[in-house]
Amino acid sequence: MEPVNNYPKEKVLEIFDIMYSIETELAALYTVYAERFPEESAFWSKISRDENNHGENVKKMKKLIPSDDFVYKVEKTFTPKAGILMLQNIKLNIKNAHEQPVSIKQAFVTARDLENSLFESKYMEFLVTNNKEFNNLIDININQTSDHKALIESKSKSLSTQ
């Protein structure tokens, strides 16, 4: 497997820095929600911890990339610009959660939309490699993101029927 379109490792590493920031900022948002909504604190705290773990997994993946024997190809286009836009959106939601009254329903809708956006962007799938450790970390993050999406959707629906 050879790099596609001469996509340099420096650019890949830059994208992984942005991915790390996305995960840790999501964790920060969910921590704000845990504080804001004590009745759902356990839920938001668990999701926040998972997002922090995703960030740690991204850091582990990033450490594998500079190795000379790490061979990859770029399958999906996920640009730094796209990542920065996602990151800015998350930060805006954190700011709003601190500065404006946010209902529990709004919190779940925001979380649902953010998780959907991440899931649909398939940003974790832009780099393809045969490296087993890398792929295991990717699978963990993808599966947990899918679980978050389903849990948040379920909570959101149950709140909308109340």
Looking at residue 160, its pLDDT comes to 67
The structure tokens listed for 119 are 């899931």
Which of residues 102 and 79 earns the better pLDDT score? 102
Give the H or E element holding residue 122: none
How do residues 100-118 score in pLDDT, each as one tens digit?
989 999 999 999 899 888 8
Average pLDDT value for residue range 126-153: 90
Where do the H-state alpha helices sit in the chain? 9-36, 41-64, 80-99, 104-121, 132-160
pLDDT above 70 (res 161): no
CA distances from 42 to 97, 114, 133 (A): 18, 20, 30
The structure tokens listed for 124 are 């974790």
Cα gap 2→20, rounded to integer Å: 25
Cα gap 42→16, rounded to integer Å: 29
Q: Domain containing 109 — which CATH number?
A: 1.20.1260
CA 145 to chain centre: 7
Number of structural domains (the chain) is 1
Band (3; pLDDT cuts 50, 70, 90): very low
How do residues 15-59 score in pLDDT, each as one tens digit?
999 999 999 999 999 999 999 999 999 999 999 999 999 999 999
Which of residues 27 and 154 earns the better pLDDT score? 27
Could you list the residue range(s) of the whole structural domain that residue 128 is in? 4-160
User: Which range among 22-26, 66-70, 124-128, 141-145 has the greatest average pLDDT?
Assistant: 22-26
Q: What percent of the chain has pLDDT over 90?
A: 56
Average pLDDT value for residue range 94-105: 92
**Residue 1 three-state SS:** coil
Band (120; pLDDT cuts 50, 70, 90): confident
Looking at residue 162, its pLDDT comes to 59
pLDDT above 80 (res 6): no
